[in-house]
Amino acid sequence: MKSEPISVSEAADFFKTHDNFLILSHANPDGDTLGCAFALCRALQKLGKKAKNICADEISTRFDFMKEAVESQDFEPQTVVSVDVADTKLLGDLEKPYSGKIELAIDHHVSHVDFAKKLLLEPYAAAAAEPVYKLILELGGGELFDAQIAACLYTALSTDTGCFKYSCATAATHRIAAELLEYDFDHSRIDYVFFDMKTKARIALEETIYRDIEYYCDGKCALVSLTREQLESVDSEDANGLSAIPRMIEGVEVGVVFKQRPNGSWKASLRSNSTVDVQKICSEFGGGGHTKAAGCSFYNTSLADAKKQLVEVIGKALA
Ligand SMILES: [Mn+2]
Protein backbone atom coordinates (compact mmCIF):
# COMPACT_ATOMS: atom_id res chain seq x y z
CA MET A 1 0.00 0.00 0.00
CA LYS A 2 1.27 3.48 -0.89
CA SER A 3 0.69 6.02 1.89
CA GLU A 4 -0.47 9.54 1.17
CA PRO A 5 2.25 11.87 2.55
CA ILE A 6 0.75 14.66 4.67
CA SER A 7 2.07 17.78 6.40
CA VAL A 8 1.92 18.64 10.10
CA SER A 9 -1.09 20.93 9.57
CA GLU A 10 -2.92 18.24 7.57
CA ALA A 11 -2.19 15.78 10.39
CA ALA A 12 -3.63 18.30 12.87
CA ASP A 13 -6.81 18.53 10.74
CA PHE A 14 -6.96 14.75 10.74
CA PHE A 15 -6.94 14.62 14.55
CA LYS A 16 -9.50 17.46 14.81
CA THR A 17 -11.95 15.67 12.50
CA HIS A 18 -11.59 12.16 13.99
CA ASP A 19 -12.16 10.64 17.43
CA ASN A 20 -11.80 7.44 19.51
CA PHE A 21 -8.09 7.05 18.83
CA LEU A 22 -5.99 3.96 19.38
CA ILE A 23 -2.28 4.83 19.31
CA LEU A 24 0.09 1.95 18.47
CA SER A 25 3.71 1.74 19.66
CA HIS A 26 6.27 -0.69 18.28
CA ALA A 27 7.16 -3.91 20.10
CA ASN A 28 10.18 -3.92 22.44
CA PRO A 29 9.17 -0.30 23.12
CA ASP A 30 11.72 2.50 23.56
CA GLY A 31 11.48 6.04 24.89
CA ASP A 32 10.56 7.53 21.52
CA THR A 33 7.61 5.29 20.63
CA LEU A 34 6.24 5.51 24.20
CA GLY A 35 6.99 9.21 24.74
CA CYS A 36 5.17 10.07 21.49
CA ALA A 37 2.22 7.79 22.28
CA PHE A 38 1.70 9.14 25.81
CA ALA A 39 2.25 12.80 24.84
CA LEU A 40 -0.18 12.51 21.94
CA CYS A 41 -2.72 10.60 24.02
CA ARG A 42 -2.65 13.25 26.77
CA ALA A 43 -2.94 16.09 24.23
CA LEU A 44 -5.96 14.43 22.56
CA GLN A 45 -7.63 13.77 25.91
CA LYS A 46 -7.11 17.42 26.87
CA LEU A 47 -8.86 18.38 23.62
CA GLY A 48 -11.88 16.33 24.75
CA LYS A 49 -11.18 13.37 22.47
CA LYS A 50 -11.15 9.73 23.52
CA ALA A 51 -7.68 8.17 23.18
CA LYS A 52 -5.68 5.21 24.45
CA ASN A 53 -2.31 3.57 23.80
CA ILE A 54 -1.38 -0.01 23.09
CA CYS A 55 1.90 -1.91 22.77
CA ALA A 56 2.53 -5.63 22.17
CA ASP A 57 5.19 -5.89 24.87
CA GLU A 58 5.37 -5.10 28.53
CA ILE A 59 6.42 -1.54 29.39
CA SER A 60 9.38 -1.15 31.78
CA THR A 61 8.71 0.49 35.14
CA ARG A 62 11.14 3.23 34.02
CA PHE A 63 8.18 4.62 32.07
CA ASP A 64 5.73 4.75 35.00
CA PHE A 65 5.69 8.56 34.94
CA MET A 66 4.35 8.41 31.38
CA LYS A 67 1.49 6.09 32.35
CA GLU A 68 0.41 8.66 34.93
CA ALA A 69 0.11 11.30 32.18
CA VAL A 70 -2.98 9.72 30.65
CA GLU A 71 -6.46 8.85 31.87
CA SER A 72 -7.61 5.28 31.29
CA GLN A 73 -10.69 5.57 29.03
CA ASP A 74 -13.10 2.82 28.05
CA PHE A 75 -14.36 3.05 24.46
CA GLU A 76 -14.47 1.22 21.15
CA PRO A 77 -11.49 2.48 19.06
CA GLN A 78 -12.35 3.89 15.62
CA THR A 79 -9.17 5.60 14.45
CA VAL A 80 -5.89 3.68 14.57
CA VAL A 81 -2.63 5.64 14.38
CA SER A 82 1.00 4.57 14.91
CA VAL A 83 4.02 6.45 16.26
CA ASP A 84 7.71 5.64 15.56
CA VAL A 85 6.73 2.45 13.70
CA ALA A 86 8.86 1.97 10.55
CA ASP A 87 7.23 -1.26 9.41
CA THR A 88 4.16 -3.26 10.54
CA LYS A 89 6.56 -6.16 11.26
CA LEU A 90 7.79 -4.12 14.23
CA LEU A 91 4.33 -4.17 15.85
CA GLY A 92 4.92 -7.67 17.24
CA ASP A 93 1.63 -9.32 18.24
CA LEU A 94 -0.30 -6.20 17.16
CA GLU A 95 0.68 -6.72 13.51
CA LYS A 96 -2.06 -9.27 12.77
CA PRO A 97 -5.00 -7.43 14.33
CA TYR A 98 -4.07 -3.92 13.11
CA SER A 99 -2.02 -3.99 9.90
CA GLY A 100 -4.27 -2.74 7.10
CA LYS A 101 -6.33 -0.76 9.64
CA ILE A 102 -3.86 2.04 10.38
CA GLU A 103 -5.18 5.43 9.23
CA LEU A 104 -2.13 7.53 10.01
CA ALA A 105 1.54 6.75 10.70
CA ILE A 106 3.83 9.35 12.28
CA ASP A 107 7.46 8.37 11.85
CA HIS A 108 11.06 9.49 11.31
CA HIS A 109 12.75 6.41 9.82
CA VAL A 110 14.34 6.83 6.38
CA SER A 111 13.63 3.12 5.95
CA HIS A 112 9.86 3.57 6.57
CA VAL A 113 7.83 0.97 4.65
CA ASP A 114 4.36 2.34 3.79
CA PHE A 115 1.48 0.65 5.61
CA ALA A 116 -0.87 3.45 6.70
CA LYS A 117 -3.40 5.39 4.61
CA LYS A 118 -1.70 8.68 5.52
CA LEU A 119 1.92 9.29 6.53
CA LEU A 120 3.52 12.15 8.42
CA LEU A 121 7.22 11.37 7.89
CA GLU A 122 10.19 13.51 8.90
CA PRO A 123 13.10 11.30 7.78
CA TYR A 124 15.77 13.68 9.10
CA ALA A 125 14.25 14.15 12.54
CA ALA A 126 16.27 12.59 15.38
CA ALA A 127 13.09 11.18 16.92
CA ALA A 128 9.41 10.79 16.04
CA ALA A 129 8.96 13.23 18.91
CA GLU A 130 10.02 16.08 16.58
CA PRO A 131 6.95 15.82 14.27
CA VAL A 132 4.77 14.95 17.30
CA TYR A 133 5.94 18.15 19.04
CA LYS A 134 5.02 20.22 15.95
CA LEU A 135 1.69 18.42 15.67
CA ILE A 136 0.70 19.15 19.28
CA LEU A 137 1.76 22.77 18.79
CA GLU A 138 -0.47 22.94 15.70
CA LEU A 139 -3.36 21.25 17.53
CA GLY A 140 -3.50 23.58 20.48
CA GLY A 141 -0.82 26.24 20.29
CA GLY A 142 1.44 26.57 23.31
CA GLU A 143 -1.58 26.16 25.63
CA LEU A 144 -1.93 22.41 25.10
CA PHE A 145 1.58 21.72 26.40
CA ASP A 146 2.17 21.05 30.06
CA ALA A 147 4.91 19.51 32.20
CA GLN A 148 3.72 15.94 31.57
CA ILE A 149 3.59 16.25 27.78
CA ALA A 150 6.99 17.97 27.89
CA ALA A 151 8.47 15.17 30.04
CA CYS A 152 7.21 12.49 27.61
CA LEU A 153 8.58 14.27 24.53
CA TYR A 154 11.87 15.16 26.24
CA THR A 155 12.36 11.47 27.11
CA ALA A 156 11.69 10.56 23.47
CA LEU A 157 14.30 13.04 22.19
CA SER A 158 16.86 12.15 24.83
CA THR A 159 16.60 8.37 24.45
CA ASP A 160 16.67 8.39 20.62
CA THR A 161 19.80 10.59 20.58
CA GLY A 162 21.79 8.79 23.32
CA CYS A 163 21.22 11.77 25.60
CA PHE A 164 21.82 14.24 22.74
CA LYS A 165 25.20 12.65 21.92
CA TYR A 166 24.52 11.00 18.55
CA SER A 167 25.14 12.86 15.29
CA CYS A 168 21.37 12.72 14.57
CA ALA A 169 20.79 15.35 17.31
CA THR A 170 20.57 18.54 15.22
CA ALA A 171 20.13 22.19 16.13
CA ALA A 172 16.39 21.63 15.53
CA THR A 173 16.39 18.77 18.06
CA HIS A 174 18.06 20.99 20.65
CA ARG A 175 15.62 23.85 19.94
CA ILE A 176 12.63 21.59 20.59
CA ALA A 177 14.31 20.25 23.75
CA ALA A 178 14.91 23.85 24.87
CA GLU A 179 11.20 24.67 24.37
CA LEU A 180 10.24 21.58 26.39
CA LEU A 181 12.61 22.57 29.22
CA GLU A 182 10.49 25.71 29.76
CA TYR A 183 8.01 23.39 31.51
CA ASP A 184 8.49 22.26 35.06
CA PHE A 185 9.70 18.64 34.97
CA ASP A 186 12.83 16.96 36.27
CA HIS A 187 14.89 16.37 33.11
CA SER A 188 18.03 15.44 35.03
CA ARG A 189 16.08 12.65 36.77
CA ILE A 190 14.91 11.37 33.36
CA ASP A 191 18.47 11.33 32.00
CA TYR A 192 19.70 9.63 35.17
CA VAL A 193 17.04 6.90 34.96
CA PHE A 194 17.60 6.19 31.26
CA PHE A 195 21.37 6.64 30.99
CA ASP A 196 23.14 6.24 34.34
CA MET A 197 20.96 4.08 36.59
CA LYS A 198 21.78 0.37 36.61
CA THR A 199 20.33 -2.53 38.56
CA LYS A 200 22.59 -4.34 41.01
CA ALA A 201 22.37 -7.43 38.79
CA ARG A 202 23.61 -5.41 35.83
CA ILE A 203 26.53 -4.02 37.84
CA ALA A 204 27.46 -7.56 38.92
CA LEU A 205 27.34 -8.68 35.28
CA GLU A 206 29.51 -5.74 34.21
CA GLU A 207 32.00 -6.65 36.92
CA THR A 208 32.53 -10.06 35.33
CA ILE A 209 32.73 -8.47 31.88
CA TYR A 210 35.44 -6.00 32.95
CA ARG A 211 37.35 -8.77 34.72
CA ASP A 212 37.31 -11.08 31.69
CA ILE A 213 38.04 -8.70 28.79
CA GLU A 214 40.53 -10.23 26.38
CA TYR A 215 42.75 -8.16 24.09
CA TYR A 216 43.97 -9.19 20.67
CA CYS A 217 45.76 -7.57 17.71
CA ASP A 218 48.08 -5.37 19.82
CA GLY A 219 45.17 -4.16 21.93
CA LYS A 220 43.17 -2.93 18.93
CA CYS A 221 40.55 -5.63 19.43
CA ALA A 222 38.76 -6.18 22.77
CA LEU A 223 36.60 -9.24 23.23
CA VAL A 224 34.07 -10.34 25.84
CA SER A 225 32.04 -13.55 25.99
CA LEU A 226 28.87 -14.14 27.97
CA THR A 227 27.45 -17.56 28.77
CA ARG A 228 23.74 -18.35 29.13
CA GLU A 229 24.19 -18.48 32.89
CA GLN A 230 25.63 -14.96 32.95
CA LEU A 231 22.95 -13.59 30.63
CA GLU A 232 20.15 -15.22 32.61
CA SER A 233 21.40 -13.53 35.80
CA VAL A 234 19.81 -10.26 34.57
CA ASP A 235 16.47 -9.10 33.05
CA SER A 236 16.49 -8.85 29.27
CA GLU A 237 16.38 -5.04 29.63
CA ASP A 238 19.65 -5.23 31.63
CA ALA A 239 21.31 -7.20 28.85
CA ASN A 240 20.87 -4.29 26.39
CA GLY A 241 23.83 -2.17 25.40
CA LEU A 242 26.53 -4.66 26.45
CA SER A 243 28.01 -4.56 22.94
CA ALA A 244 29.04 -0.95 23.60
CA ILE A 245 31.42 -1.90 26.44
CA PRO A 246 34.56 -3.14 24.62
CA ARG A 247 34.56 -0.19 22.21
CA MET A 248 34.68 2.30 25.09
CA ILE A 249 38.30 1.28 25.71
CA GLU A 250 40.93 3.71 24.45
CA GLY A 251 42.90 2.34 21.52
CA VAL A 252 40.31 -0.35 20.71
CA GLU A 253 39.22 -0.24 17.08
CA VAL A 254 37.00 -3.33 17.05
CA GLY A 255 34.91 -4.44 20.02
CA VAL A 256 33.41 -7.93 20.10
CA VAL A 257 30.77 -9.36 22.43
CA PHE A 258 29.95 -13.07 22.17
CA LYS A 259 26.59 -14.08 23.62
CA GLN A 260 25.53 -17.68 24.01
CA ARG A 261 22.04 -18.47 22.71
CA PRO A 262 19.63 -20.82 24.54
CA ASN A 263 20.47 -23.53 21.95
CA GLY A 264 24.18 -23.23 22.80
CA SER A 265 25.30 -21.45 19.59
CA TRP A 266 27.25 -18.19 19.82
CA LYS A 267 26.25 -14.80 18.44
CA ALA A 268 29.04 -12.26 17.97
CA SER A 269 28.24 -8.51 17.94
CA LEU A 270 30.98 -6.35 16.50
CA ARG A 271 31.40 -2.58 16.88
CA SER A 272 33.93 -0.49 14.99
CA ASN A 273 35.58 2.65 16.30
CA SER A 274 37.65 3.25 13.18
CA THR A 275 37.52 2.76 9.42
CA VAL A 276 37.39 -1.02 9.88
CA ASP A 277 34.19 -2.26 8.22
CA VAL A 278 32.71 -4.83 10.64
CA GLN A 279 29.87 -5.63 8.26
CA LYS A 280 32.49 -6.98 5.84
CA ILE A 281 34.12 -9.05 8.60
CA CYS A 282 30.75 -10.52 9.64
CA SER A 283 29.76 -11.30 6.05
CA GLU A 284 32.67 -13.79 5.93
CA PHE A 285 30.72 -15.77 8.54
CA GLY A 286 27.30 -15.36 6.92
CA GLY A 287 26.32 -12.35 9.05
CA GLY A 288 25.72 -8.70 8.27
CA GLY A 289 24.67 -5.27 9.51
CA HIS A 290 26.22 -1.84 9.09
CA THR A 291 29.84 -0.68 8.68
CA LYS A 292 30.10 0.34 12.36
CA ALA A 293 27.83 -2.31 13.91
CA ALA A 294 27.33 -5.84 12.67
CA GLY A 295 26.88 -9.42 13.85
CA CYS A 296 27.36 -13.05 12.91
CA SER A 297 26.73 -16.49 14.39
CA PHE A 298 28.76 -19.60 15.08
CA TYR A 299 26.95 -22.94 15.18
CA ASN A 300 28.47 -26.29 16.12
CA THR A 301 31.72 -24.53 16.98
CA SER A 302 33.34 -24.24 20.39
CA LEU A 303 33.71 -20.72 21.75
CA ALA A 304 37.50 -21.05 21.55
CA ASP A 305 37.27 -21.97 17.87
CA ALA A 306 34.79 -19.21 17.09
CA LYS A 307 37.08 -16.64 18.76
CA LYS A 308 40.09 -17.92 16.83
CA GLN A 309 38.33 -17.73 13.45
CA LEU A 310 36.89 -14.28 14.10
CA VAL A 311 40.07 -12.74 15.56
CA GLU A 312 42.02 -13.96 12.53
CA VAL A 313 39.72 -12.08 10.13
CA ILE A 314 39.70 -8.98 12.40
CA GLY A 315 43.52 -9.08 12.46
CA LYS A 316 43.62 -9.01 8.65
CA ALA A 317 41.20 -6.08 8.57
CA LEU A 318 43.29 -4.15 11.10
CA ALA A 319 46.56 -4.82 9.27
MN1 LIG B 1 12.47 6.72 17.12
Report the separation in Å between the CA atom of 315 and the middle of ligand 1, taken as the mean of its atom positions. 35
Domains of the chain with CATH codes: 4-196 (3.90.1640.10), 200-318 (3.10.310.30)
Residue 279's CB: how many other CB atoms inside 10 A?
A: 18
Instruction: Report how far residue 20's alpha carbon sits from residue 52's, in angstroms, rounded to the nearest whole number.
Output: 8
Q: How far is the CA of 285 from the centre of ligand 1 (A)?
A: 30
Ligand 1: centre distance to CA 232 (Å): 28
Q: What is the pLDDT of residues 9-27, one digit of tens each?
A: 999 999 999 999 999 999 9
Distance of alpha carbon 77 from alpha carbon 98, whole angstroms? 11
More confident residue, 247 or 314: 314
Q: Which amino acid is at 170?
A: T
Mean pLDDT, residues 79-101: 97
Per residue in 166-208, pLDDT (tens digit) is 888 999 999 999 999 999 999 999 999 999 999 999 999 999 9
CA angle (215 as vertex; 211, 218 as ends), nearest 5: 150
Q: Is the pLDDT of residue 292 over 90?
A: no
**Above 90 in pLDDT, residue 288?**
no
202 membership: H or E segment, kind and range: helix 200-212
- Least confident span in 107-116, 132-141, 287-296: 287-296
CA of 260 to the centre of ligand 1 (A): 29
Model confidence at 1: pLDDT above 90? no
Among candidate residues 248, 241, 118, 127, the one with its CA nearest the CA of residue 180: 127
Kindly report the average pLDDT of the chain as a whole number: 95
Please tell me the distance between residue 160's alpha carbon and the centre of ligand 1 in angstroms: 6
pLDDT of residue 60: 92
pLDDT at 291: 86
CA of 114 to the centre of ligand 1 (A): 16
pTM value is: 0.86
Report the pLDDT value the prediction gives residue 238, as an integer from 0 to 100. 84
Query: Ligand 1 center to residue 258 CA distance, Å?
Result: 27
